[in-house]
Amino acid sequence: MVAFTEWYEGGYGVSFRIKGKVFEKKSKYQKIEVYETEGFGRMLVIDGAIQFIEKWEKMYHEILVHPVMLAHPNPENVLIIGGGDGGALREVLLHETVKKAKVVEIDKEVVDTVKKYIPIDNGAFDNGRSELIIDDGIKFVKESKDKYDVIIIDSTDPKGPAEELFNVPFYKDCYRILKDKGLVVTQSGGAYFDTKVSIRVAKNMKEVFDKVHPFFFSVIGYAPSWGFSVGVKGDIDFLKIDEKRGSSIKTEYYDPEYHERMLFLPRKMRETIESL
């Protein structure tokens, strides 16, 4: 039996039986691999970490995108940092309020690999409202003169090229380039494995944003209960969404009816984060 396993601290593994490896390349930034799984389509792996599995990628991309898009009263200008696979962009463009969505991806090889071997963008990169920029997200945000309603950080984990995307200086730049009110969301590690990432993000975001909301959702392919963290600038209640817009978006996992309940935290995590 051939399998691909991603190992977490202490020896916990997330494993898929595979039919074979479809592609492998070391880009300037990272090692990119694509596997054909036995039962769930293709899988993208970067530096040994599972990024998405075709059958379940919506579990992650819907939960990353829709809560912030629906809590914002009128998201028109959206910035995605990372997200070179186009999954987050595809979900952003479901929102008719969006006039412009930019994807700033550091590694063109990720875009090309996914386009060729696991296209999930569903035409999003060709949509007239979208723009793909190959650049370092840190630099882009630091130099940006444009202002955004929503910033979505769809990055790899804080090792390698994404490390700085989890630090206070980057969050400060994000805060600066949000309009008077705006929202930032980032993936922030597992609740039980990689807990230190969730705690680090909560701590660093609390230094910068007016309000911070961490939440967790199961994403098949990652360790149980994956973390997402939202930073609020200005007068926006992240707990309330625009129900009318919510009911017009077709989703499989994100449920506008359960928006608030999604913010449930395991007790230990809630106590730890509240004490920061």
Distance CA 84, CA 125 (A): 10
Q: How far is the CB of 180 from ligand AG3 (least distance, A)?
A: 29
Residue nearest ligand AG3 by beta-carbon distance: 49
Distance CA 269, CA 253 (A): 23
Ramachandran region, residue 181 (left: φ > 0; alpha: ψ -120 to 50; beta: rest): beta
Q: Footprint of ligand AG3 on this chain (CB under 6 A)? A: 6, 49-52, 83, 85, 87-88, 154, 156-157, 187, 222
At 51, phi and psi to the nearest 5? -95, -45
Question: What strands lie across the sheet with 211-217, from one edge to the other?
Answer: 130-134, 100-105, 77-82, 148-154, 178-190, 226-233, 211-217
Query: 164: exposed, middle or buried (C-beta count within 10 Å: 0-12, 13-18, 19+)?
Result: middle
Residues designated catalytic: 154
Cβ closer to ligand AG3: 229 or 245? 229
Q: How far is the CB of 82 from ligand AG3 (least distance, A)?
A: 7
Cβ closer to ligand AG3: 157 or 242? 157
Q: How far is the CB of 210 from ligand AG3 (least distance, A)?
A: 26
**In which residue are the tokens 């998405």 written?**
52
Q: How far is the CB of 242 from ligand AG3 (least distance, A)?
A: 25
Q: How far is the CB of 28 from ligand AG3 (least distance, A)?
A: 18
Cβ–Cβ under 8 Å, residues 186 and 201:
yes
Closest CA to 42 of 119, 109, 124, 123: 119
Q: How far is the CB of 26 from ligand AG3 (least distance, A)?
A: 19
Cβ closer to ligand AG3: 50 or 236? 50
At 21, phi and psi to the nearest 5? -95, 130
Q: Which two tokens stand for residue 143?
A: 């130099």
Render the burial of 45-84: b for 16+ CB within 10 Å, e for the rest: bbbebbbbbbebbbbbbbbbbbbbbbbbeebbbbbbbbbb
